[in-house]
Copies of this chain bind each other. A is one copy, B any other.
Amino acid sequence: MDKTMKKKMEQLKSKLMEIGDLGYISSLLNWDQSTYMPPGGAPARARQMALIGRMAHEKQTDAKLGKLLDALEPYRQSLPYDSDDASLLRVARRDFELAIKVPSAFMADFYGHCALSYENWTQARPANDFQKVAPFLEKTLDLSRQFAEYFPGYEHVGDPLINLNDEGMKASSVRALFASLRQQLVPIVKAISAQPPADDACVHRHFPESLQSQFGVEVITAYGYDFKRGRQDKTHHPFMTKFSLGDVRITTRFDEHFLNNGLFSTLHEAGHALYEQNINPAFEATPLGVGTSSGVHESQSRLWENLVGRSRPFWEFYYPKLQKVFPQSLKDVSLEAFYRAINHVKRSLIRTEADEVTYNLHVMIRFDLELQMLEGKLAVRDLPEAWNARYTADLGVTPPDHKDGVLQDVHWYSNFIGGVFQGYTLGNLIGVQMMEAAQKAHPTIVEDMGCGKFDALRSWLKDNVNWHGRKYLTDELVKRVTGKPLSIDPYIHYLKRKYGELYQLS
């Protein structure tokens, strides 16, 4: 690299890091709002989110940034595709091209609106009051469609939104994938429903919050979550957030009468955090220094939550410990009964509490409804009815209220409508496909889990997935890591194997 290019690379990185840091600052404003901010802080917080959002967007679209990228183009072309610098230049270019299509004032308005809408949702959900959120949701839908209109030539109005979180994917490709998945899933759900239901009463006994927290911390510390570079707090809706490579925080919530809620949320968010904590430090605060997509992020969280945390070997090691933490509630429950309880397949109301088999049906409902809203075929006022109708049709349960119905997930109330939910199902698929590859590389991974050891798995994920941050698109990464394109087959085989045994399916 000659001196001029070197200097330009440094200038570029410094500009990109400012953008990255403004994003992290915005995340802190958001974390604080979700964890500790008193209610009186909400109006100013919305104003401050809008200000930071606008300033970040102004930096993202700075003409000088474009010129630097242009000037560095020959340097990029001289490098191998997967070198760090070529990747940074490639991804920064994509971000720049995307950002300049959207006015800064729009982004400021959007961030400010999201902060107010979120605050409103935190009150509306416990009050079971859809009417309270409806006007906010109307504006969110308007803003979401307006955002899509900044990208004329899209195939589907949802595509620009999907692209924000799962870069390179489209409504059509996701729909096709979901259709074939649905075809395979529905018979499995039916077959299981025909069996006698598992007894999960034991996870609904009394589990004091502080002890749940203590046990969760023990497990995720063993997973490798580094509390010196993170912390855990409580929020209405669990999430992972990041303010730098050295500060990756998670949140959770607890239900003293439903163990799964806090436990699996904790493992899930720790999975996200392991991704972010294990990214190459050289990428700090640059566009490469985050997980590559919603789908790959969920692959990590769902893997640590389910493929590890809901597996039999894991509980062979941890169940005696859990019994010691909750002797009153669990002393008369065998490992096998507990394992069956936490893997109890049930057509139910709440996505975050759903079992591995029905989970994707929850996602598909949201994905379809948000596309319908974006297409203008479903009005916000008709959303609760449509939601309930789909739950009745797909899952055989009708929400008794909005709280555990259309108000249950924070996403539509704090972000665009569209483009987020598909990531959960993509993550389920990618997670299993990656776990297969990891086990191929390290055949002792399952055996290790039975001893509470996760080093080989964590290292493999770090080296193959996490370390690369945003260098590769989802499809590239999946192929690179597993040797095959993204497919539903490993996931379906996994379900059939695990639940075939649990429910004695033929």
Q: Hey, which bits of chain A sit against chain B, CB under 8 A?
A: 17-18, 21-22, 24-25, 28-29, 32, 36-45, 47-48, 51-52, 55, 226-231, 233, 243-247, 249, 284-285
Contacts and interface: CB of A to CB of B under 8 A. Distances in A.
Contacts of A47: 17, 21, 285
7 contacts: A28-B32, A38-B229, A38-B246, A38-B249, A40-B226, A40-B247, A45-B247
B227 A38 contact: yes
A42 B230 CA distance: 12
B229 A51 contact: no
Contact of A244 (B41, B52, B284, B285): B41
Nearest to A44: B244
A232 to B, nearest CB: 10
A337 to B, nearest CB: 38
> In this complex, which of A22, A29, A48, A52 has the most chain B Cβ atoms within 10 angstroms of its Cβ?
A48
A473 B32 CA distance: 34
Given A32-B32, A231-B36, A25 B41 contact: no
A278 to B, nearest CB: 13
A305 B24 CA distance: 38
Contact of A48 (B25, B39, B45, B51): B25
B228 A39 contact: yes
A495 B148 CA distance: 70
A227 to B, nearest CB: 7
A38 B247 CA distance: 6
A contact patch SS = helix
A389 B248 CA distance: 45
Nearest to A48: B21
Contacts of A32: 28, 32
A285 B28 contact: no
A292 B344 CA distance: 62
A25 B46 CA distance: 12
B38 A51 contact: no
Contacts of A44: 21, 24, 243-247, 284-285
> In this complex, which of A44, A244, A249 has the most chain B Cβ atoms within 10 angstroms of its Cβ?
A44
Contacts of A249: 38
A132 to B, nearest CB: 19
A96 to B, nearest CB: 20
A24 B230 CA distance: 24
A38 B244 contact: no
A394 B344 CA distance: 73
